[in-house]
Each structure stands twice: as C-alpha cells, then as structure tokens.
Amino acid sequence: MTINRRIFLGSTVAITTSLCAPAVLTAQGRPQVVVVGGDAGGATAARYIANDSQGAVDVTLIEPTRAYYTCFFSNLYLGGFRDYESLGHSYGTLAADYGINVVHDWAIAVDRDTKTVRLAGGGSVPYDRLVLSPGIDFIEDSVPGWSLAAQNAMPHAYKAGSQTQLLRAQIAAMPEGGTFAMVAPPNPYRCPPGPYERVSMVAHMLRETNPTARILIADPKESFSKQALFEDGWERHYPGMIQRIGPDFGGGSVEVDAQAMTLSIDGQVENVDVCNVIPAQRAGSIAFAAGITDGDWVPVSAYDMSSRADPEIYVLGDSAAQGAMPKSGFSANSQAKVAANAILAALTDARAFPARFSNTCWSLIDTDDGIKVGATYAASDEGIVSVDSFVSQLDETAELRAQTYRESIDWYTAITSDMFG
C-alpha cells in the first residue's frame, strides 16, 4: 500500500474511530507503534511517526477524549481572552490524513512480556514500540481535606476541559468583594508558570467584573517561575488585589473544607468563595501500571526518551523525569520528535539524528503584557541538560511585551497544527 505524504486513502486496518474496542488488532506485517495519550506528546509522536514513515509503520493512538482541550492557553479563557471552543482540537485529521488508528478508550494495563496494551473497553493492542504520554495524576491526600470527590466544589482545573469551564463559572458567580483562593502545588508540577498566569488572568477578569474581590495564594514554594516578572506585573496592573502566602508564613501548611468552603493556612481559617486546589502531582496511572516508574515519575534516557526500565517503551511530557526541561506542552512536543526519530530508526531504515530539545513558555499578565521564558537543551548520560536559556526582562518596552503576547498566539496555532495535523 502506498500512502501519499499528506492524504491517507483507505485502510486495511479495521478500527478507526470506533466506540467498541476490538478483540485483537493484528500486526498486518508492518511494525506497530502504539501511543497512549493523544496530547502534546502523544499526538505529536503519532503524527510524526505516521507521516515520516510514509505508511511503513502502523500507528495506533489510544485516547479517551474525543476532542482535546489544551491546558496551555486555558488560562487565557479564564481571563476572557479566548473562548472555550478555541482550545478544542479534534482527532479527525490524524485519522483521515495520516492514517492513524485513533481508538477512543482507556489503556488500563501494559503487558511488557507479550508487548500488548489492554483497553478498558475489552481487548488488547499489540506493539513493537510503545509511547506513553499520559500527563499527570494527582497525589492522594497531598492537600488535607481535598480529594477527587471535592473537585466540583474546589476545582483543580489542572486537566483542561469541564474543570476549566467550571472554574470560570465559579469566578463569575463570586459575590462582590469575595475571595478567590488558590492552593499552589509543590515542585515538580506541570507548567511551572501556570498557576501564576492563572492568578493574573483571574485578576484581570475580577478587575473588570468584581474589582473589590481579592485573590489569596497559599504556596508551599519559596520561589516560582518568572516570579519577579509576575510580581512586578501584579503591582502595576492589580495593586492590592493579590496576596501570596509563601512557606515562611505557613503557605505549605494548608487544609481545606470543601463543604464549608474554608481554607486554613497554618491554622488560620479563611472563608473563601472559590478555591482552586492544585494538588501535588505524579506520572499518569498507566506509567505505574506498566511498572516503569521510580518514585513519582518515569526515568528516561535523554538520547531518545526511552524509559530506563524498558527501552521499548518511550515516555513523553509530564510523566517523564525530564531533567532540566519543564513539564510543558512545548517540551512534550519537542521530546516527541526525538522519540519519533529514534523509533523510526529502530523499526525502519530511517536515519537517526542526535537528540535536540527546546522549550518556550509564554505567560500573559494583562492585556498586551506578555512574558516568556525558555531554553535549548541537549542529551547527556545524566539526562536532559540546558544549553542556553532566556527570559523576559523587567524593563522591557510595552511594545515588546505586546509583541511577546502576539507571537504566543501564532505559536498556539502552529503547535496545535503540529500536534493534530
């Protein structure tokens, strides 16, 4: 079967976007790559492997959601800068144009001896190489008083989708002069500047709709990403609205009551109207099920993103112990390309090239006030190491801050096309 580089016409693989899981998907004679997680890491890996192999490799993508709502830029929706639908992306193009076997199901187990992935709906999928990109899951009991049962009363909104819509609705329903509280996570966590961009966006929304409202952050961390820039921006744009309680003042000693809607910081109880709890994080559950984790995350080789425990399983994005790179969508997309190249070199006669990575994280503080931080990275025996880093400066012109925001919009369009076709 020949496949046009862009358009995939017809398929001998039985299952495309099916609600029913098959008994067994046979290998069809071509090497099989299974990707678990249709996100920044997984969707990118699936697309690059399918596209660059020109049909020589069969790719199955297992993803429970039918549309992917990006966590990155979801803060901009909270701030009223984007609408919800603009965050959503379908898997239709990956299925139609790239011939990727998109299976909407949960991967619940990995049998590394038989090299199969078991699906929640029944049945299993064989692999020659497996890519896991399962994002994060929350560590139970990391915030006393909070569990997944409380996530409607106190949303995390740290997996985008209905949680993001819920949080925005709660902000809109705040009483005049009410309190928006955030319990910030300990390191390491997904999207280092994320909670602080969120605070900025909530402040922006409240300044318009509820200017006497206040924002309270309980933070177990001494410092955070782009801190000087955020604090300078908060002072300029939202003076007096935001209070951050760091570990020195009990920010790491927190308890919540989702029924009473209270947040206790070092014993001091506050009534809150919205409580955004962002708990401590670990790798996605399938990584633990596969038996490749060490502590909370999966150790990987920086040279090709293969897991140390099993070199035929590659782990991308948040779930990986990714060395110097932050847990960002940009990083996952960058790592996916290194893994895709390595997998194609292993399964076909494609050439292998040395790993190279990069990341840029953009954050919006207020209208036309955007900042960024980033770096280039390389592989070493010890893991992914930083080569050269950069960050926005305090004394930048308003024009540069506006340009930084505008380019992030172009980036979002480009990277989601890079991921979803």
Does 403 bind other proteins (CB under 8 A)? Our answer is yes
In the complex, the smallest distance separating the C-beta of residue 28 from other proteins, rounded to whole angstroms, is 26
Among 36, 415, 420, 421, binds other proteins (CB under 8 A): 415
Between residues 68 and 297, which has the closer beta carbon with respect to other proteins? 68
| Binding flag, residue 375, other proteins (CB under 8 A) | yes
- 368 lies in the binding site for other proteins (CB under 8 A): no
Contacts of 361 (CB under 8 A, 6+ apart): 191, 192, 193, 225, 326, 328, 330, 372, 373, 374
CA dist 75 and 236 (Å) reads: 20
Q: In sequence order, which residues have a C-beta less than 8 Å from that of residue 33 and are 6 or more positions away?
A: 46, 49, 57, 58, 59, 60, 127, 128, 129, 130, 131, 343, 347
Q: Amino acid identity of 309?
A: A
**Shortest Å distance, C-beta 52 to other proteins:** 8
Distance CA 314, CA 41 (A): 11
As a dihedral over the C-alpha atoms of residue 219, residue 256, residue 151, residue 204, rounded to 10 degrees, the angle is -50
Name the residue nearer to other proteins (CB basis): 146 or 412.
412
Q: Please tell me whether residue 407 binds other proteins under the rule CB under 8 A.
A: yes
| Residue of 392, 401, 420, 421 interacting with other proteins (CB under 8 A) | 392
Instruction: Find the shortest distance in angstroms from Cβ 124 to other proteins.
Output: 31
Q: Tell me the C-alpha distance between 363 and 365, whole Å.
A: 6
Q: Residue 403 CB, nearest distance to other proteins (Å)?
A: 6
Q: How far is the CB of 56 from other proteins (least distance, A)?
A: 15
Quick one: which segment of 194-202, 228-236, 299-307, 410-418 binds other proteins (CB under 8 A)?
410-418
Q: By CB under 8 A, how many residues form the interface with other proteins?
A: 33
Nearest distance in Å: CB 334, other proteins? 7
The one among 333, 343, 366, 379 contacting other proteins by CB under 8 A: 333
Shortest distance, position 372 Cβ to other proteins, whole Å: 7
Cβ contacts of 167 within 8 Å, gap of 6 or more: 78, 155, 157, 274, 276
β-sheet bridge partners, residue 62: 36, 103
List residues bridging with 375 in a β-sheet: 359, 389
Interface with other proteins, residue 356, by CB under 8 A = yes
Distance CA 190, CA 320 (A): 11
Report if residue 275 touches other proteins, rule: CB under 8 A: no
Kind of pairing between the strands at 262-265 and 268-271: antiparallel
Site string for other proteins, 47-86 (x = CB under 8 A): -x---x----------------------------------
Q: Does 312 bind other proteins (CB under 8 A)?
A: no
Compute the least distance from the CB of residue 182 to other proteins, in Å. Answer: 28
CA dist 289 and 283 (Å) reads: 11
Which residue has tokens 């209070």?
243
Pick the binder of other proteins from 341, 365, 366, 401 (CB under 8 A): 341
Choice from 15, 323, 358, 383 touching other proteins (CB under 8 A)? 358
Q: 95 by DSSP, 3-state: which? A: helix
Q: What is the pairing mode between strands 281-283 and 58-62? A: unpaired
Choose between 159 and 337: whose C-beta lies nearer to other proteins: 337
372 scored as a contact of other proteins (CB under 8 A): yes
Toward other proteins, which CB reaches closer, 52 or 266? 52
CB 272 within 8 A of CB 216: yes
Residue 394 within binding range of other proteins, rule CB under 8 A: no
Q: Give the Cα separation of 273 and 290 in Å (integer).
A: 40
| Helix 194-209 × helix 227-237 angle, to 10° | 0
* Per-residue interface string for the shown chain with other proteins, residues 241-270, x marking contact by CB under 8 A: ------------------------------
Q: Does 285 bind other proteins (CB under 8 A)?
A: no
Q: Using CB under 8 A as the criterion, which residues of the chain lie in contact with other proteins when the complex forms?
A: 48, 52, 330, 333-334, 337, 341, 351, 353, 356, 358, 360, 372, 374-376, 387-392, 403, 406-407, 409-411, 413-415, 417-418
